[in-house]
Amino acid sequence: MNLVLSDETLLGGSNAPADLCGYGPVPAAIARELVSGAVDDERSRATIRRLYARPATGALVAMESRARLFPRGLAAFIRLRDQRCRTPYCDAPIRHLDHARPWVAGGATDVGNGLGLCERCNYVKEVTGWSVRPEVDEKCSHAAEFTTPTGMTYRSGAPPMPGWSVRLEISEMEIAVQMACSGLHAA
């Protein structure tokens, strides 16, 4: 069964109802009792998985994955996003999908931690001294920072989609200056 509840409801800070998929709302006290019973029962095969919601709307946007391999849809997304091997100096076709932070070290199987790599770069990054750190930059695009055994650091950003033009942001001050200057030549 899938029981969806907020962390505040789970920890007792809220009495907001939980949702039992296929049934409907469940009072907070009963939801906490269901979770507690599953955790305390040694025969239980229950798992707790985090869901992520948009704070402003409560809309679900992501789910924690316990899988080691990338599901087919997520794998396709990473291939489309990365287009070529993400190692900064390589442009080979993607052959492997890999975790930037290794799965065995607690790296998530998600879009933020996934990288498309060629076979060679995937194996090379496992050599002692190499590290890869995923990040989302200020423009909300996926990036990865590669550190080599010599200590050199390289950054790789996901390429823009073909045909996508880069939009430059213009501040309100620049707009005001442009408008003031355009009025000077209107006579």
* Banded pLDDT at 52 (limits 50, 70, 90): confident
End residue of a domain, out of 63, 84, 109: 63
49 Cβ contact list (under 8 Å, min separation 6) = 63, 64, 66
Do both 151 and 119 map to the same domain?
Answer: yes
Q: Is residue 20 part of a domain?
A: yes
End residue of a domain, out of 40, 63, 86: 63
Q: Which of 68, 69, 98 is nearest to 82 (CA)?
A: 98
Q: Which of 125, 127, 122 is nearest to 94 (CA)?
A: 122
Q: Is residue 182 part of a domain?
A: no
End residue of a domain, out of 63, 83, 103: 63
Do both 77 and 95 map to the same domain?
Answer: yes
What pTM does this model have? 0.58
Do both 44 and 93 map to the same domain?
Answer: no
Q: Which domain holds residue 57?
A: 3-63
> Within the chain, where are the H helices?
7-11, 28-40, 72-82, 119-124, 172-184
Amino acid found at 10: L
Q: What are the beta bridge partners of residue 25?
A: 19
Do both 78 and 150 map to the same domain?
Answer: yes
Do both 55 and 77 map to the same domain?
Answer: no
Q: Are 163 and 176 in contact (CB under 8 A)?
A: no
Do both 50 and 117 map to the same domain?
Answer: no
pLDDT score of 170: 65
Do both 82 and 23 map to the same domain?
Answer: no
Q: Tell the residue number behind the tokens 């994955």, with chain if given.
A: 65
Say which residue, 1 or 102, is predicted with more confidence: 102
134 Cβ contact list (under 8 Å, min separation 6) = 100, 101, 112, 113, 115, 142, 143, 144
Q: Are 149 and 124 in contact (CB under 8 A)?
A: no
Average pLDDT estimate for 59-87: 83
pLDDT digits (tens, 9 = 90+) for 96-124: 999 999 888 888 888 889 999 999 999 99
Residue 81 CA to its chain's centroid (Å) = 13
pLDDT digits (tens, 9 = 90+) for 123-168: 999 899 999 999 876 555 788 999 999 999 999 988 877 665 555 5
Give the span between the Cα atoms of 107 and 113, in whole angstroms.
7
The token pair that represents 89 in the structure block: 């100096």
Do both 78 and 35 map to the same domain?
Answer: no
